[in-house]
Copies of this chain bind each other. A is one copy, B any other.
């Protein structure tokens, strides 16, 4: 088993460019680079103990709340899980009273095809409008002042098992949206919708002919393994690419100078890898695409012919790091397969790939070929139970987004500490039904705990400190100019820790488990606020929000077994918590 290396901390403040901070929070990850860094510093290590709840707001919904609130023009916007209400709260008045609620009323049937709770990961603001997705495959634009719907467009089909759960990003006047449904045999895509009109500008599939993947003359992947014609067809058995997964339900970053979008593609389907010999392009990797046309510029596959549900959809943090003597434009990506990748974002070259969680399924990443080196006797097989596979299907890290501080130079990674046994099974495709073909049973990795919160030095490629947690840390992270890192736990604690030492400075027990994303903003009174949605659920918390039976270790695609104690620690209930100094 490979274990993360842990080093002493040599502070290396970030020298790259950051977007100016206006004290708002208008994008899912705060900025285009996806840092989740707020420069606000009123709350710091000297006063965080005095942090006090300013107000709360109940969404009235019991499913998992994964969204980051937005704050624009002294209004807070909250997107809920199904039925995907959008609440606007007036921050200029005490207690943040409701201004309006927009209700898109998605079809209830969409709940039946969502693999792992009916979550929604948030919205984006642009040009007077809030953009977000509904579970039943619609993207909506809502007037940020009035709450009136400006347009809505249907981008997918729940009858094929497609849903939308991700937070769109708006770049170059386009709303960028990707689909979910890798466990239902969907064909993944990323779609750009005109922010003014709701018309589709382009769509890039993750499988199939180059034409449909938007691979053309601009496409210059760094590694030979990504080169060749129509690999999105040829790296699959006949027609398997049509139901091959590779959705784009994770995070999108944007580099305005290079005019490139970066996003990961999800696992290939079905999980049973015997059913799909080949590399299964372009799943489980990262695309760089031209933001205007969607044309692919490069691609790198983290997990070719993925065996373990290692989606490549995790966040890509765009940084200019001191690497190889100079400053390199990179993206930093903590992957489900257990490595933190540092990749030259101009061309897709892997600069480093270091272990951040226990790994038995691979021996490392070959930096010459870019290939993940699988461990032969950990390969999954039809009808055979293969044991002690680490990381598990939800990965060393799932969707829960990291944060990066330019002040410490560290990446703060909420993640999992789990292993699993897997037995693959025959599976047939029936549209709109689960297409998995694997029995999975998960349990805690060595150490006996289910999760970790890790500060990671992306230049040294080492962990600086770790905070273990009983359960997977399924919330996002926030880091601030006050050198505080905020995150939440599945048993409901919201924590502030010292960004340099990891020492816990403050904690607050919210009403339900936390899987939301903390944000920070400046209120109309000039004070710094910290906001988080509490409300357990998601894949890890579905045992509580969906009332699953922990004795059935195959429930929630094998996750319920590892989470069987969670119902003893928390209860469902969606609630916004907003904190400030007295």
Interfacial residues, chain A to chain B (CB-CB below 8 A) = 50, 52-53, 55-62, 87, 94-98, 101, 491-493, 507-512, 534-535, 544, 568-577, 582
Contact = CB atoms under 8 A, between A and B. Distances in A.
B575 A58 contact: yes
Contacts of A568: 98
B511 A58 contact: yes
A569 B492 CA distance: 26
Q: Which 5 residue pairs across A and B have the least CB separation, nearest first? A: A58-B573, A95-B509, A58-B511, A60-B572, A55-B509
Given A95-B493, A573-B575, 12 more contacts: A50-B582, A52-B52, A53-B508, A56-B509, A56-B510, A60-B512, A61-B573, A62-B62, A87-B571, A97-B491, A98-B570, A511-B576
A202 B58 CA distance: 43
Given A95-B492, A95-B493, A509-B96, A56 B575 contact: yes
Contacts of A52: 52-53
Residue of A61, A512, A534, A582 contacting most chain B CB atoms (<10 Å): A512
A87 B544 CA distance: 15
Copies of this chain in the oligomer: 2
Contacts of A512: 58, 60
Contact of A98 (B59, B96, B569, B582): B569
Contacts of A95: 492-493, 507, 509
Nearest to A95: B509
Given A62-B62, A95-B493, A511 B571 contact: no
Contacts of A493: 95
Contacts of A491: 97
A58 B572 contact: yes
Given A53-B52, A53-B53, A95-B492, A571 B509 contact: no
A94 B509 contact: yes
Contacts of A96: 509
A52 B579 CA distance: 11
A534 B55 CA distance: 13
A117 to B, nearest CB: 14
Nearest to A55: B509
Given A53-B53, A94-B507, A95-B509, A571 B492 contact: no
B53 A571 contact: no
Contacts of A573: 58-61, 573-575
A511 B572 contact: no
A530 to B, nearest CB: 14
